[in-house]
Each structure stands twice: as structure tokens, then as C-alpha cells.
Amino acid sequence: MHNSARFDKPYFIEKLVSALSYITSGFVGFIWLLLGIFTKSKVRPFMKYHIFQSIFLAIAYFLLCQLLGMLGTIVSYIPFVNNLVLMVAYLLNAPILFGISIIQVLIYTLIIYLVVTSMQGRYSYLPWISDIIKMNVRN
């Protein structure tokens, strides 16, 4: 009797493309999806999950940066609040160790977590985001 879980394990190339997709903000995964369309091959659920999650995270990060930039511009016109916002922004973006800020440490930690879990062949979990991806990725 065959163990079906053994056959559902992702191949090394799938793990590698998933990890590279996180590192390149979804670009490698997008190319992989395009290659899958052109060759008419089916992309397995593990790959879809990680590729779509990496693309979703890249878009969400871009939109969050734009939104915070606009919000910072608006708040900069409010007296007393502008100094507080500037101090918080400076503290989060100031280089702490080896020229890396707190925000960069958090982003790199998240990327490392996602890369490691995808290389292990596991589905990484990020609250809300992974739930959205699971609902939209079909077998």
C-alpha cells in the first residue's frame, strides 16, 4: 500500500522556486507561472500557495509603504503631532547594527521564515494572509 503523503511532498525544484519567489518579491514565481501556462503544465498546490503568497506580500508591502508615506505627509502639517511622527519614523528607520534598521530586521526575519518553511516543504502561516491565500488557491 502506498503512503499518499509521500507522493504529495514537493520536489526540490518546487521548494527552490518557492523560496526564490519570496526573495525576489514574487518575480521568480510569476515567471514560473508563465512557464506553466506556456507549457500547459499543472502547477501543484504547494507552488501555487507560496507563489501567490509571495506576490500578495510584495503588493501588500508596496501599498503599505505608499499609504504610510501619504499618511506621514498629511500628518506632517499637524502641529505637535508632526514631531512625534518624525521621531517614531526616525527610530524605526535609524541604522542600529551594521547599518540595518529595526524595520529591515523585521522584514528580513519574515523573509527568512518564509524561505526556510518553503525549503522544508511546509506551508508557512501568516495570520490573515495565509488564510486568504488558502481560500483562493484551488487544487
Of all helices (H) and strands (E), which one includes residue 3? Answer: none
Q: Provide the pLDDT for residue 14.
A: 94
C-alpha 56/C-alpha 72 separation (Å) is 24
Largest CA distance in the chain: 72
Predicted pLDDT of residue 65: 92
Count of CA atoms in the C-beta half-sphere (13 A) of 112:
6
Per-residue pLDDT at 50: 95
H or E stretch at 78: none
Low-confidence residues of the chain, pLDDT below 50?
1-5
Beta bridge mates, 97: 100
For 100-139, how does the pLDDT look when each residue is reduced to its tens digit (9 = 90+)? 899 999 999 999 999 999 999 999 999 999 999 999 887 6
Whole-angstrom distance, CA of residue 12 vs CA of residue 126: 23
Q: What is the pLDDT of residue 4?
A: 44
